[in-house]
Amino acid sequence: MDYVQLNDGNKIPAIGFGVFMIPNDGPTYEAVLEALKVGYRHIDTAAAYMNEQDVGRAVRDSGIPREEVFVTTKLWPQDYAAGNAPAGIDLSLKNLGLDYIDLMLLHQPYGPVDEAWAALEEAKAAGKIRSIGVSNMNVNIWNKWVPGFKTLPAVNQVECNPLFQQRELRAVLDPLGVKLECWYPLGHGNAELLSNPTITALAGKYGKNAGQIILRFETQDGLITLPKSTNPGRIASNLDVFDFMLTDDEMESLRALDTGKGTHDPEDPINEERLLSFRVHE
């Protein structure tokens, strides 16, 4: 496993196991146990995924020392207000059944973001969280909020894959040492991406599948990537990308696939209204 140095001095595994839309009460537990068994040391969940309990139970039952497993979760806007955020952070700790969280993100950039960020800073100072970051912030939203933060985020988790490489955002983040994490790193099963001739040709050359070429490209380009699967074979293969290197020309050929367009617009008022109305607990 490769590790990425964060701007707060902590290190994060370059590939994490995502659990978005995997049900709690069994399926997430089994998937995370399998992921840890085959070598993942980074699990990415969220309060809004409703499966923090399964993630924490799998981490505890894995037999792997706690300090060797990097656990990420995310605070939901329902809990962003200063009066609610500390309880929201504590609820995630309780659901996970862990003494600390390695990385906690603000899941969506809506509502009193500044109040929620201050609560993350306080929880980090108290030792409840090791690293803090944001999610779904494009350049405009980043520039709206982050200059007012006392401390820089360690990461920004956004949609990112070879068809949507977030180059404009990376031009802002890279000079600050803020790492970009990719959700939908494989395009959410996008057939256009997985069957792209450039990618399939490289898969043939290296004896890998299309997903492995994509994940190698992303990690080699300095990104943190979060593939998700419940298939044991796919869980294992998504991690098997550290035994080869793409050439500079091959990296450029993959960079050329960028369309600059993703599936999620965080500035769309419809998305903001929909996500602000969603509740993760009573």
Number of Cβ atoms within 10 Å of the Cβ of 9: 9
Q: List the catalytic residues.
A: 49
Angle at which helix 210-220 crosses helix 197-206, to 10 degrees, equals 90
Helices (H), 97-157: 113-125, 139-145
| Residue 239 main-chain phi, psi, to 5 deg | -95, -15
Local structure of 204: helix, strand or coil: helix
Looking at residue 190, its pLDDT comes to 86
Task: Give the pLDDT confidence score for residue 189 in this predicted structure.
Answer: 78
Q: What are phi and psi of 162, to 5 degrees?
A: -60, -25
**Which residue, 201, 146, 211, 141, is CA-closest to 177?**
146
Q: How far apart are CA 169 and CA 94, in angstroms?
A: 34
The pLDDT score that the predictor gives to residue 136 is 98
Class of the CATH-defined domain 3-277:
alpha beta
pLDDT tens by residue, the chain, 282 residues: 899 999 999 999 999 999 999 999 999 999 999 999 999 999 999 999 999 999 999 999 999 999 999 999 999 999 999 999 999 999 999 999 999 999 999 999 999 999 999 999 999 999 999 999 999 999 999 999 999 999 999 999 999 999 999 999 999 999 999 999 999 999 987 889 999 999 999 999 999 999 999 999 999 999 999 999 999 999 999 999 999 999 999 999 999 999 999 999 999 999 999 999 999 998
Report domain extents, the chain.
3-277
- What is the model's pLDDT at position 282? 87
CA-nearest of 271, 274, 270, 267 to 138 is 267
Task: Give the type of residue at 179.
Answer: K
Interatomic CA distance for residues 256 and 40, integer angstroms: 30
